[in-house]
Homo-oligomer: A and B are copies of this chain.
Amino acid sequence: MTPESAARRPGRRPGSADTRGEILAAARRVFAEKGFDKATVRGIAREAKVDPALVHHYFDTKEGMFAAAMRLPVTPHQVIPLLLEGPREEIGERLVRFILRATSAPETREPMVALIRSAMTNEQAATMFREFISNALLYQVADRLEVPHLRVEAAFAQMFGMVMARHVIKLEPMASATPDELVELLAPTVQRYFAG
């Protein structure tokens, strides 16, 4: 997605750009206030002053709305099928390549880094991030693959640390390493956690 396409909204449905934007702005306020778990589609519709059916028209799930509101490049609906499809012994490589791809362009990486920054400096944002990451992402992945939650969190910690070291702390040589170098190094780690 280019910054242009993210800025321009569909445009074919006059007025809908604003409605979608207003729903997302309402979602950001409700998620920040209530956290991910306690926020509801109904509550977000009320905050946006629209019918809940309209919220469902734009967003299938609360997870999808959260990802759109926070402009996250990594959503449960992408990650879960990615991990389930294809050989189980290549899960580590698929996940590492996906995370590297999702974080390679600044326009997809920056919203995620912004969310992490607020989670690290603000208790409410930390709660929202923790609930989303665990209930909507990590526990789903763990349960579908029948892997203990702690092992999936160890894989998350490795990926989280890599993205921070590469793009925020900008440690060299990690910041300039090629995707293939990082896959060679990190995929066996992730594979081991998922095989456990």
Contacts and interface: CB of A to CB of B under 8 A. Distances in A.
Interface in A126-169: 126, 129-130, 133-134, 138, 149-151, 153-154, 156-162, 164-165, 168-169
A134 B159 CA distance: 19
Contacts of A151: 185
Secondary structure dominating the interface of A: helix
Contact of A192 (B189, B193, B196): B189
Given A157-B162, A174-B150, A168 B126 contact: yes
Interface string A176-196: 010001000110110011001
Contacts of A117: 120-121
B138 A168 contact: no
A189 to B, nearest CB: 5
Given A156-B161, A161-B159, A173 B149 contact: yes
Contacts of A161: 156-162, 164
B164 A130 contact: no
